[in-house]
Amino acid sequence: MVKTKTVHTIQEVIETRQEIIDSIRDSLNYEIDGLVIKGREIDREDMKRAKPESQIAFKFPAEMIDSTLIDVEWSVSGANYTPVALIEPVELLGSTVQRASLANPDIMGQLGVKIGSKVMVSKRGDIIPKIEYVIATPEGAEEIVIPIKCEACESDLINEGSRLYCPNEDCPNVRYRRIVKWIKKNDIKHFSEKLILRPLYETQRIQKIADLYTLKISDLTKLEGVQEKSAKKALNNLLAVKQIPLERFIAGFDIEGLGERMVKKAVKAGFDTLEAIKTASIHELSQIDGYAEITAQTLQQGVEKLYPEMEQLLKTQKVKIAEPITEGKLKGLTFCFTGKLITMSRKEAHDLVISNGGEPKSSVTKHLSYLVTNSTERTTKYKKAQEQGTTIITEAQFLKLLE
């Protein structure tokens, strides 16, 4: 028996629909994809029409929908090549989806997609589009071509299955990404990749991080689409970052698999200068909590190889390695943020934690001290924190800790 309900206003229709989505839908033992709104009186003539005018369907937002794979684009970032599916645009949970990452050649292969395949698209966590599976592939459909040579240096790409990459350590793309990483890691705004960094790199005006600090306003205003206002803004932002903690300095050099957190562990363990890390043996570094052979080697070899560039950067005198912060009200505490904050951005909150000696985390882990959120929405982070009994506090309570 189909459920019915009599309502009197448009508002009630909207509320009822929401109620069905939120609770009623799950309790039914059959699938529904929407509701039909019709007048109480039955107009027999109207009902004979293919599309009766006295009734209208009010569908729920789809949670999964089918589309067609148009093509695969290879997104290049540094050494890595990642397949991205371009699909026929479809409406899904309130937005138009036309791209979805295929992660790596292995996952692409497991899905078995070809150009023209009908695919099922969802959104993970209601946000990120994802190709779930292939519904059907037309006969004789074109295979997806995996690139063989690096677009930048023509080296033969290495296909490890879970990773397709260019093995050349001096590949122009790798060197370019190092510069971009520095800008991003240090949160230097308005240094547009498209308008500024790419063109400067391609015309050989900048080749290393240190070169950024030789730039003049005139170098930027020469570029298309950049006038004095933007040029000044970019350079001011660059020069505003002067004191850089060692872990960020090293992480800013884009050593594969070595982020700020891992370097911080070394700093905490007493390897708190660039020289100390450079001269340490792999064995010594592998004694650090959270380090073993592989990470120790990555750090040691990375710093050794990039040391001349690091020295060159420090020689410009435009940046300095800052003294580590070891004291503060939040010493020894870790924080993870979720949802919107009221008085500050996510980034400011992270900085606040760091400047008070605490540590921000991007996910809820076992030893997290606090999850900070203003909402009780049951997101993955919230649920996980609840499950393992992590203290959940509001933004106001977080600010109280700093008083």
Nearest distance from residue 128's CB to DNA, in Å?
4
Strand order in the sheet with 391-393: 359-361, 334-337, 370-372, 391-393
Sign of CA dihedral 202, 236, 325, 367: negative
Q: Is 360 in the site for DNA (CB under 7 A)?
A: no
Q: Does the footprint of DNA cover residue 39 (CB under 7 A)? A: no
Q: Is 216 in the site for DNA (CB under 7 A)?
A: no
Residue 270 CB, nearest distance to DNA (Å)? 16
CB of 191 to DNA, least distance (A): 6
Segment contacting DNA by CB under 7 A, of 4-12, 99-107, 304-312, 324-332: 99-107
CB 58 within 8 A of CB 34: yes
Closer to DNA by CB, 141 or 282: give it: 282
Distance, first Cα to last Cα, the chain: 60
Radius of gyration of the chain (CA): 27
> Minimum distance from CB of 210 to DNA (Å)?
21
257 interacts with DNA by CB under 7 A: yes
Q: Is the C-alpha dihedral spanning 322, 327, 330, 336 positive or negative?
A: positive
DSSP string computed for 114-148: -TT-EEEEEEETTTEEEEEEEEE--TTPPPPPPP-
Size of the site for DNA (CB under 7 A): 80
Nearer to DNA, 125 or 332 (CB): 125
Choose the binding region for DNA from 30-38, 228-236, 275-283, 395-403 (rule: CB under 7 A).
Answer: 228-236
Question: 255 burial class (0-12, 13-18, 19+ CB within 10 angstroms)?
Answer: buried
Residue 356's nearest CA partner among 332, 323, 392 is 332
Question: Which residue among 16, 54, 68, 98 contacts DNA (CB under 7 A)?
Answer: 98
Segment interacting with DNA, rule: CB under 7 A, options 47-55, 64-72, 323-331, 372-380: 372-380
Residues 119-158 that bind DNA (CB under 7 A): 124-129
